[in-house]
Amino acid sequence: MISVPWVFLSILGNINAQKLVVVIAEGLSGAYFHRFSHLSGLRLFEEEGVWSTRLFPVFPTLPLPNRHTLLTGVLPRKHGMMSDIVFNWRSGLEFLNFTQESDFRKSDWWMTDPIYVTATQAKASVAMFFFPECNVDWVPAPHLCVPPRNDGMSFADERVAKIVVEATKSHDLVLVYHPNIREQIADIGPRRSNDRTATEVDKFQQALERLTAQARERIDLNVIVVSPYGLIDVPKRNIRVLDDYLPMELLQMSIGSGAVKQLIAMPGKTHQVYSQLRNHTPIPNVKIYFTAPKIGDLPEWYHYKKSATVPDLVLVAQPGYAIVTRDLAKQIPPQDPNEIKAGMSGYNNHYPDMLGVFLAYGPVFRKGFHKGPLELCDVYTLMCAILRIDDCNTSCGRILRIDDVLTSDTRVAVRARLNRTNHATLAKIVLTAIVVIVMLLVLISVSNNSILHLIRRRVFFVAEAEGSCDPLPDDSKARIMYHMKNKIVVRPKEQLDDGAVAKLRCHPGAEPSGPSTATCVSGKWDGALGSCA
């Protein structure tokens, strides 16, 4: 008879051996996923895997902020990539979406380690395909990292899909970046997108079938597909030009265009720019906001506050509208206003058309399970749990919010591991607290001994008022203890207010001699205190 502990240990061992493929396929909105869900490569997830069309992205709902949040588990305000175009107004550095060499400088932009670095540190083997981030000098670097190809080939090409499938046999974590669907739907517009016009979706689902077929044959391969956000149609008539509403001499620079545009006013003109665009000449369907923590009026769930990469002012367009700048000398990067796409992202991350798609298939996932709402950070915690990585970033996600996508046995193993991790973390906290308390007690003991030593050797004064007066006539090294609002504070000799009374106090066993009090009168002490023998 097989014992229960042996079964539980075998479950843990099986979880430990699991491999994972994560495909980031941008552009599939949860709002119109039903147009493509009948395609066999996608239907498999509804019938035999897990699917959700209510994946909440982070704001702004743009490619890089969401991709980096998915891979780091933290919000953009923490990892710093607030947009595809980033300007650090403190240092003057510009990030131009991987179009210049400085964009890959780790010390400038990439301070939070993604899961592919954390997994490599944990001795897992990692392969990545078509990520621009491959050219960043990560330490340690993933075992295999293929940047975007110059010939345009992608995961949707049969030869490349076969290479990805082969990579799953020798690597624990395989990551694939696939922006082709987003790029095509942005050109034709989401409303016109279907299985006939959006040909990239059909090519993608065919490549996906090759991957899931491999997972079907194996007991250790799991597939996750994430489309972090959707797109919205933006008619040409809905494009607003900043120059038509704001005297441009008030503006030093604008950053980005489309759904979100940051504004840096000329020195001393920030409030004037805000007032102009909020009250005097507001831009239709575009609202200006302060970002400073105490006065900012952006929705809290945007988590979009002033920082080195977020200036004082930001324009946010309503879904379906866009804001651009005509004066290219005051625009980062310079962009022709006529280059706005038919479909755009970047809007309110709670807007229905902005929600993304989550798909999962493999031995650790439930069959035919329709998952409700989840957040992008939750997927990060799920990846860490499946790969059993202990040192993942402290995330904005919660494994308990997403572990219902797992089979019951896998969920038991994950929660057991979570409990052990929590106990270990609690033990570390308690141990740290004990060390801190011991150190404080030692410091207090040393401090008290020093004070007692001072009391034994010198006159000790207790002043019953605070303020300014000439110092007490005594040795320059003497100290005064002030009694202020029932709180004893030890400081070097200072000055007190008129009427302050200094009293002589001696250490037990020492005999006082001479006057026991001195009063501050007209800025002078009326006499010298005695001493302790």
288 forms beta bridges with: 315
How far from 450 is each of 105, 245, 444, 454, CA to CA, in Å?
51, 68, 10, 6
pLDDT of 368 above 80: yes
Measure Cα distances from 120 to 64, 72, 132, 392, 485 in Å: 22, 14, 18, 11, 57
Of the chain, the percentage scoring pLDDT greater than 90 comes to 72
Q: What CATH code would you report for 459-532?
A: 2.10.70
Q: What is the mean pLDDT of residues 160-188?
A: 98
| Amino acid 440: pLDDT | 77
| Highest-pLDDT range among 267-281, 434-448, 493-507 | 267-281
The residues spanned by each domain of the chain are: 16-74+112-230+349-406, 236-340, 459-532
- Both tokens assigned to 529: 């205190």
| Tokens 């008022």 -> residue | 465
Peptide bond into 60 cis (omega under 30): yes
Cα(first)–Cα(last) distance of the chain, in Å? 87
Greatest alpha-carbon pair distance for the chain in Å reads: 104
* Per-residue pLDDT tens digits for 453-467: 444 433 444 444 334
| Secondary structure of 123-148 in HEC code, one letter for each residue | CCCEEEECCHHHHCCCCCCCCEEECC
What amino acid is encoded at 222 in this protein?
A: N
> Percent of the chain having pLDDT more than 70?
79
Q: What average pLDDT does this structure show over 16-21? A: 86
d(CA 370, CA 244): 48
Tell me, letter by letter, the H, E, C secondary structure of 441-504: HHHHHHHHHHHHHHHHHCCEEEECCCCCCCCCCCCCCCEEEEEECCEEEEEECCCCCCCCEEEE
- Length reported for the chain: 533
Instruction: Tell me if residue 191 falls in helix, strand or coil.
Output: helix
What pLDDT shows up at residue 475?
Answer: 40
SS3 state at 160: helix
Question: Are both 16-74+112-230+349-406 and 236-340 of the same fold?
Answer: no
Q: What is the pLDDT of residues 91-138, one digit of tens each?
A: 999 999 999 999 999 999 999 999 999 999 999 999 999 999 999 999
CATH number of 236-340: 3.30.1360.180
pLDDT reading at 395 higher than 60: yes
Residue 160 has pLDDT above 70, yes or no: yes
CATH number of 16-74+112-230+349-406: 3.40.720.10
Confidence of residue 446 (pLDDT cuts 50, 70, 90): low
Contact in structure between 341 and 322 (CB atoms under 8 Å): no
**pLDDT mean over 71-89:** 97
Strand partners, 504: 461
Least confident of 142-156, 299-313, 408-422: 408-422
The answer to whether 313 touches 262, Cβ cutoff 8 Å, is yes
pLDDT tens-place string over residues 205-257: 999 999 999 999 999 999 999 999 999 999 999 999 999 999 999 999 999 99
C-alpha–C-alpha distance, residues 276 and 291, integer Å = 17
Structure tokens at 342: 């038919």
- What is the C-alpha to C-alpha distance for residues 304 and 83, in angstroms, rounded to an integer? 11
The per-residue pLDDT for range 57-75, each reduced to its tens digit, is: 999 999 999 999 999 999 9
The DSSP secondary structure of 284-338, one letter per residue, reads TTEEEEE-STTT--S-GGG----BTTB-SEEEEEPTT-EEE-S-GGGEES---GG
With bands split at pLDDT 50, 70 and 90, how would you rate the model's confidence at 522?
Answer: low
Query: pTM of the prediction?
Result: 0.78
- Angle (deg, nearest 10), helices 63-72 and 376-387: 40
Q: In Å, how far are 26, 95, 132, 179, 436 from 104, measured between CA atoms?
A: 22, 9, 9, 19, 40
The pLDDT, as a whole number, for residue 510 is: 66
Task: Give the mean model confidence (pLDDT) for residues 325-353.
Answer: 94
Task: Give, in degrees to the nearest 5, the angle at Cα 5 between 3 and 11.
Answer: 110
- Structure tokens belonging to residue 81: 């990539």
Lowest mean pLDDT among 165-169, 391-395, 473-477, 482-486: 482-486
pLDDT at 528 over 90: no
pLDDT at residue 294 in the model: 82
Question: What is the DSSP secondary structure assignment for residue 258, as one 8-state letter?
Answer: B
